[in-house]
Structure 1
Amino acid sequence: MSAGQWARDLAMGVRFAFTGGREGWVRATLTAVGVGLGVALLLLTSAIPTIQATRDDREDARDDIGLVFHEETTKTKPSDKTLVVANTDTDYDDKEVRGRLLDPDGPRAPVPPGLKKLPATGEMVVSPALADLLKSDDGKLLRERLPYRVAGTIAEPGLVGPAELSYYAGADGLAERINGSSVGRIEHFGSVTDQSGGEELDPVLLLLILVVLVVLLMPVAVFIATAVRFGGERRDRRLAALRLVGADGRMTRRIAAGEALAGSVLGLLFGAVFFLIGREIAGTVEVFGISVFPSYLNPSPALAALIAVVVPASAVLVTLFALRGVVIEPLGVVRTAKPPRRRLWWRLLLPLGGLALLYPMIGQGSENGNFNEYMVTGGVVLLLVGVTALLPWVVEAFVARMGSGSVSWQLAVRRLQLSSGTAARMVNGVAVAVAGAIALQMLFVGVEGEYTKATGKDTTRANLEINLPYDGQVTAVGEKLGRTKGVQDVMAVSTGYVGDKRSDPDLASTVTVGDCAALREMAKLPSCRDGDVFVAGNEDDQDSEKLAQRGRTVYFDPSYDSDPAKQIPWTVPGEVKKAQTRADSLRPSVWGLLVTPSALSDKVAPALEGAAYVRLDPSVPDASDRVRNTAAAIDPLATVYKWKSTEQASEYAAIRTGLFVGATCVLVLIGASLLVSQLEQLRERKKLLSALVAFGTRRRTLSLSVLWQTAIPIALGLLLASVVGLTLGVVLLKMTSVPVVVAWSSVLSMTGVGAGVVVVVTLFSLPPLLRLMRPDGLRTE
């Protein structure tokens, strides 16, 4: 067969699609919508590398605290081209707020990206999202925390996303508080180039990324393959007419492929439109804390070109494959007769082949190098494709044994017996998505312990930790925090260092200052009253007891600060009592001198740094924000940390967030594509439904039959998906060398989500179903 003949037959199919009257246009449009939805999501996926790279570039371009930490910039001298910057990041209503205080040393100080000029003292420039929040009623408490006048907004180059909450505020006097960590002097914005290169991801994390990509993209491919087969039965009847005018079987199949090609090419255009619409919508939404500007969503040209080639080619191949067992004759299509039973053996080869590819990597874990990415991808793809191959056989085998029941049940079962393949195709995408989701959930739950560690913090004793570089009395800090609404208890302490000499001391120890209640949370004390001094040593501490001698003079900040004013002498008063270290101390490694406030003079306050541990009243919903407001009022540079009993590795958390974002997009695609498939199925049955209504069949009976026709394949598909998902999950867990634990709650939740999507789609399809069930549907042109 020559290429020219192929081209002529395909071109004829394209003409039939667009010049075949209303019937051809409807089928082409439905195919285009189904394909277009999948193409839009593929284009979005192809833009992910650009999104990540652009966000990283924006973050690097505005980096300042990284410069403060860098060893070459900690000794930057003030000049007319330098700027002192302070980190004032905070949280509000569980959302991160990026904050910076800026104090220029001269008129040529660097300006952050997104700003035209530096804000004056008492003014701030805010992101558009923060400006909206501050103007709303929801931002009342945040307005109290940021006592600056809004003088402008940050432009897009200074933000990583449109929903980011960020501000730059002008300040003075920051040069005196440079500490090389949260406050420092810089000459420019932008991260220092690291020539050492980043660390390689853990093999298990790479495995997670591979599986996430495959699981998210497989349903898209299945939906595209399903969409190009819309209207297959009517198309085949039209092709039978071609046999009457001399076309042979192969020619009719090529013409059918041409029709599918037309729909897929039109689907590419629809997909581009859907993508552009979604691109603009993406700039207005935030999913799991991630927001992007529309300009981020620029697909990779190479990947976009690949999509433009693969989708039409797949449409042609899928159509030819689907027609391999259909005999199109001049007098009709031998599809309406009872089809031969589907063979099981070759369908089992797909999942078995997937298991064979994954088996060599069982037990490899993260200790024996990276997993073979090609074998992982191939194995997961074959297992998930096995769902689409097995589901038609499962549906056929199940409905073949069904019979007696209500009229609606019999109508549904008979329809499924005649076209079980069509019903299975409709739910293939859902089954693949659920199978992949179950496997992923099992994998995430299984390896979570490897990337989650206990912080050692007891959240029943404290909820917030506040670090205050504050030169005031610790008692006053505790009182201010204690008067804040929503605070149940406050343990405020200050810490410092003492030595036996002003500089280069031979003996040194730490000092912890707090009232008796606070000190008891740090160490085990005998009787305590204000004015007491305690000493708590450990096996590595030989100096504390020598320093803690009654009447001995010690010096705060010995040799740690060149300012003689901070090297303050203090005479140890009265009797020094023995204390014991506490394993569950609120503050880690509390040892040395423990002092109650009245035992110290006010002169030593500049040498101390404060910290407070706050227990909140859970009945006050905004208690944490009120505490942050109080801390900011005490000192704008105060940092507030929310205590958590566990914390996850940032890479693991980022992959999981990416999965949630991608799963949300795929879930929307599943719903939209299912609705299109359902409408196409109803359109195919329009005359049949109208005929049944004309003969007196109740609409309730027909509605229930349509529901059963959807529910039976979905139930079987979810059951098969659960089996395949559990199998894949077990294999992936054995590959990572972690104990195999079946998260039944995750399995049930994923299955429930899949069933829920189908229920919603069924409800949306009821109005058009009722319109189709009219006797006038028997009219034809």
Structure 2
Amino acid sequence: MLLFAASVPTARHHRDQRIHHRIDVNLSDRAITRSDHTVLIRDIDTVFRGEKIRGRMVQPEGPAAPLPPGVQRYPRPGEMVVSPALHKLLAAPGNGLLRERLGHPIVGEIGDAGLLDPGEYVFYLVANHMAADAGQTRRLDHFGKAYAKKPLSPELVLLCIAGIVVLLLPVGAFIAAAVRFGGERRDRRLAALRLVGANRGTTATIAAGEVALSTLAGIALGAILFITGRQFAGTVQIEGLGVFTEDLTPQPLLAALVVVAVLTLSLGITQLSMHKVAVEPLGVVRKSGSTSRRLWWRIALPLLGLILLRISVRSPADLHGTSGVALVVIGMLSLLVGVTAVLPWAVERLTRLFAGFGPLPWQLALRGLQLNGDSATRSVNGIAVAVAGAVALQTLLTGLSQNPVDSTARGAHGPSASTRVAIARLDDGGTPGAKYAPVLATTPGVQRAIEFKEVSVSPLNGGFPQAVLIADCAHLRLLAQLPSCSDGDAFLTAPPSTDTMPDMTTWAAGMKLRMDMYGPRWTVPDITATVRATPAYPAAVSSERTLLATPRAAGHTAIAHAVSTVGLTYATGFKDVQDHIRTAAARLDPAFSVDFPGKSQGDPALDGVRRALLAGVTAVLVLIAASMLLGALEHVRERARVLSVLVAFGTPRRTLATSVLLQSVLPVGLGLLVAESIGTALGSTLLDLAGRPVTHNWSTLVAIAGIGAAASLGAALLTLPALWRSTRPQGLRHE
């Protein structure tokens, strides 16, 4: 796990390089003229059942046209090359809609250099009818662009800091617990050495040597497992995130730091654990007493963490400074380590409160926790810290993903809950007589299709882009409530009264505007009336006013620069209705783009960080579950003789099994309760630092706790076979 973490900078660097190498936009000021070294390209992205598919339509203009990364040669017109993941998706049963949408011959696959990860869906379709002057088509003479590094936003910096602490701290807790596996047998060996003349210094040195050798062996085994596992990295995806084999290359400095940190932690924990043990020639005495654990300093740790977090960041810019980051990290560590400090006290209070009551398995479990509470809480600390960190991350992610201005909220003029509006656009260069609505209207699930032309205009000195919709009176009546209409009229839609966003548009008869970004000038016609949009209008809840114009009012120039658009009203209850619409549009023209305005697009950077962190949390929870299994097996093995004696005296195995399960479940339940409390407090504090309102997704938080409980219960159940073996009569033998 730590070697994987040491590979993250390399993986990110390789991913950034692949992103830069396949940039297909002319970001320079120079105009590119047609030559044998140019290619036309156009975005034809699509979505299938929630999965994004990156598509490009390309047309080489000469034999030396540049090739996209990962593509060996351009196929013939009408053919396409796809990524291996998309090839499998197209061949999978039940994906006939996608095969119909991308129904072009596949003549090759895209190499790793053209993909962000092995699971990315990408295709390149070669065409021979692309026009260089079309609005969405661009000409390139090379692929790739080197970007200067831009700092992350303070919110994402905070999220990354939280992710690193949350992912690595449970690993440290696991190492601290694993170092103490077999501690009782080690102490008995050291007592035997004291009997033959070794002094305390010698036994301490021998204990340190044993731990150092076993730690080095574990590091070597971990390195072998990492090297072996990275060969299969391309076949694994967590939260939609994957890496190539070469991406998992640890940075040498970080790998050396991993070795040093693990050794130092192992030796330190061993020396601390021996302070409570007196290893004498005639046996081992464990220091204990009737004094209860004190709560004040255990509560002081999380309180200190909250105070540090409160004073660490006074402005978002502090997150880019070393001192601000250090205080945030220390504060988070104090809060999460507070879980491991509070949990032993909670277990002790539980055993004291309920001791002497309940059935026999319950009594045995509580007595086992009284005698071995430290070992029980050590095995639970890892899962508790992981859950606390996951809860904090989820709370932070929920708050950051909330858009302060929810533009998707529907007012009184929006569609009903059972219907939605889609917008299909095609930049066909103003092709006369093109009729797309009748075909799209026959799509399963579509209730109505309204066709019109759409052109974007903006003030001459730059400013907010404004939309003009052009159609005849019959179609305009479907978009708005018109008092009367004749060719030459123009209408202005009024924003809904429930919308509180300011209107940035400026409309005045005779006003000079510019079409598109560099297009010709256009004069606003006389506005006949201000009207209300109908629910079928694609932007019915928009805060901006839109001009609805008849062809005569808009003029021939505006129609020539307009994009063919079809507004669709569809039933949400129809299965795969959005994919049916996309497929129908792609059959008309692969360059058709379909948008669903009611669906929030989210922040791509935040989405990428979110997927990476959730993937890491999933991996950590799996690791901690495995560590709990090892701890439980070690605990059963150390108590094998006691269990055998109990069975020999007539204790039913069912009673012992129930007590062992209870002994594992009770600390886990307390640990999850403490973890949820501290994790929620940490997430709320981090949101406050980011200046966001605190929002909790309680269903997800409960689900995280459920995953932690399921992992713990599964580890406890897997110890039952070892328990059956330990209760045989052979377990009474002792040397």
* Band the TM-score falls in, shorter-chain normalisation: 0.7 to 0.9
- Please say if 1:526 is aligned against 2:483: yes
The answer for unaligned runs of 5 or more in structure 2 is 458-465, 494-504
Judged with a 3 Å threshold, the aligned counterparts in structure 2 of structure 1 residues 98 and 442 are, in CA distance, closer, same or farther, namely: closer
The alignment's TM-score, normalised by the length of structure 1, stands at: 0.82
- Conserved? CA contact 1:482–1:490, under 8 Å: yes
Q: CA deviation at 1:320?
A: 0.5
Provide, for residues 394-452 of structure 1, a one-character-per-residue CA deviation record: whole Å limited to 9, x for no partner: 22232133123212112111111111101110101111112222233333334443667
Quote the residue 1:38 is aligned against.
none
Pick which of 763-772 and 323-332 moved more: 763-772
**Aligned-partner SS, 2:469:** strand
Q: CA deviation at 1:370?
A: 4.8
* Cα distance in structure 1, aligned partners of 2:291 and 2:283: 18
Look up the match of 2:460: none
**Residue 185 to residue 472, structure 1, CA distance change in 2 (3 Å):** closer
Query: Retained in 1: the 8 A contact 2:276–2:287?
Result: no
Encode CA deviations 1:38-65: one digit per residue, 9 max, x unaligned.
xxx111111112112111111211111x
In the alignment, residue 307 of structure 1 is paired with which amino acid? V
| SS of the residue 2:107 aligns to | strand
Aligned: 1:53 with 2:13: yes
Q: Tell me by how many angstroms 1:254 deviates.
A: 2.5
CA contact 1:178–1:185 (8 Å) conserved in 2: no
2:96 aligns to what?
Answer: 140
Offset of residue 366 of structure 1: 3.0
Aligned-partner residue type, residue 395 of structure 2? M
Aligned to 1:94: 50
Distance change in 2, residues 1:576/1:134 (3 Å): same
Counterpart contact for 2:38–2:64, Cα < 8 Å: yes
Aligned to 1:214: 165
Q: State the shift of 1:456 in Å.
A: 6.3
> Quick one: which amino acid aligns to residue 696 of structure 1?
G
For residue 419 of structure 1, the aligned residue among 372, 392, 395 is 372
What's the counterpart of residue 506 of structure 1?
none
Q: Which residue of structure 1 aligns with residue 259 of structure 2?
A: 308
Please state whether the residue corresponding to 2:62 is helix, strand or coil. coil
* Structure 1 residue matching 2:250: 3-state secondary structure: coil
Q: Is the 8 A contact 2:661 2:717 kept in 1?
A: no
Q: Which amino acid aligns with 1:526?
A: P
Q: 1:241 to 1:405 in 2, by over 3 A?
A: same
| Contact 1:473–1:605 (Cα < 8 Å) also in 2 | no
The question of 1:293 aligning with 2:247 is answered no
In the other structure, the counterpart of 1:171 is 127
Residues 1:496 and 1:721: Cα distance change in structure 2 (over 3 Å): closer
8 Å contact from structure 1 (residues 365, 737) kept in 2: no
In structure 1, what is the equivalent of residue 390 of structure 2?
437
DSSP-derived class of the 2:573 partner: coil
Shift of 1:90: 1.2
Greater displacement, 768-777 / 225-234: 768-777
* 1:609 Cα deviation after fit: 1.8
1:494 to 453, 463, 478: 453
What amino acid sits opposite 1:42 in the alignment? Answer: L
**C-alpha separation in 1, matches of 2:599 and 2:718:** 44
Q: Distance in 2 between matches of 1:248 and 1:617?
A: 82
Contact 1:537 1:544 (8 Å CA) reproduced? no
1:125 is matched with which residue?
81
Identity over the aligned pairs, expressed in percent?
40
Deviation at 1:649, TM superposition (A): 2.8
Distance across 2 between alignment mates of 1:389 and 1:603 = 74
The yes-or-no answer on 1:384 pairing with 2:336 is: yes
Provide the rounded CA distance (Å) in 2 between the counterparts of 1:511 and 1:416. 73
- Deviation, structure 1 residue 592: 4.4
**Following superposition of structure 1 onto structure 2, how do residues 518-597 of structure 1 map, counting pairs within 5 Å?**
518-520=475-477, 522-527=479-484, 534-537=489-492, 540-543=506-509, 560=519, 578-580=529-531, 582=533, 586-587=538-539, 589=544, 591-592=546-547, 594-595=549-550
- Structure 1 residue 344, shift from structure 2 partner: 4.2
Could you list the per-position Cα deviations for residues 511-551 of structure 1 after superposition, in whole angstroms to 9, with x for gaps in the alignment? 633466752464331256xx65532258943336999xxxx
Q: Secondary structure, in 3 states, of the residue corresponding to 1:327?
A: strand
Is the alpha carbon distance of 1:559 and 1:218 closer, same or farther for their aligned partners in structure 2, counting shifts above 3 Å? closer
Match of 1:664, SS state, is helix
Query: What is the alpha-carbon distance in structure 2 between the residues aligned to residue 558 and residue 725 of structure 1?
Result: 49
Asked if 2 retains the 8 angstrom alpha-carbon contact of 1:475 and 1:492, the reply is: no
Map 1:10-21 onto structure 2 (within 5 A): none
1:4 match: none
Question: What RMSD in Å do the two structures reach over aligned CA positions?
Answer: 3.5
What's the counterpart of residue 717 of structure 1?
A: 671
The 8 Å contact of residues 436 and 451 in structure 2, kept in 1 or not, is answered as yes
- Paired letter, 1:260: V
CA contact (8 A) 1:451 1:652 kept: no
Between 1:256-265 and 1:720-729, the stretch displaced more is: 720-729
Q: How far apart are 1:354 and its partner, in Å?
A: 2.5
Residues 169 and 726 (structure 1 numbering): CA distance in 2 closer, same or farther, change over 3 Å? closer
Structure 1 position 775, deviation (Å):
2.0
Larger radius of gyration: 1
Deviations for 1:577-610, whole angstroms, at most 9, x for unmatched residues?
645264985246564453389x999999755421
Give the number of aligned pairs: 702
Q: 1:270 to 1:314 in 2, by over 3 A?
A: same
> What residue in structure 2 maps to residue 84 of structure 1?
40
Match of 2:10, as an amino acid? T
Q: Distance in 2 between matches of 1:170 and 1:546?
A: 40
For residue 315 of structure 1, report the CA deviation from its aligned partner.
Answer: 0.7
Q: CA deviation at 1:346?
A: 4.3
CA distance in 2, matches of 1:411, 1:336: 23
User: Pairwise mapping of residues 454-473 of structure 1 onto structure 2 (< 5 A)?
Assistant: 454-455=407-408, 458=414, 460=416, 462-470=420-428, 471-472=430-431
Which residue number corresponds to residue 115 of structure 2?
A: 159
Give, as a single letter, the amino acid of the residue that structure 2 aligns with 1:60. H
Of 274-283 and 576-585, deviating more is: 576-585
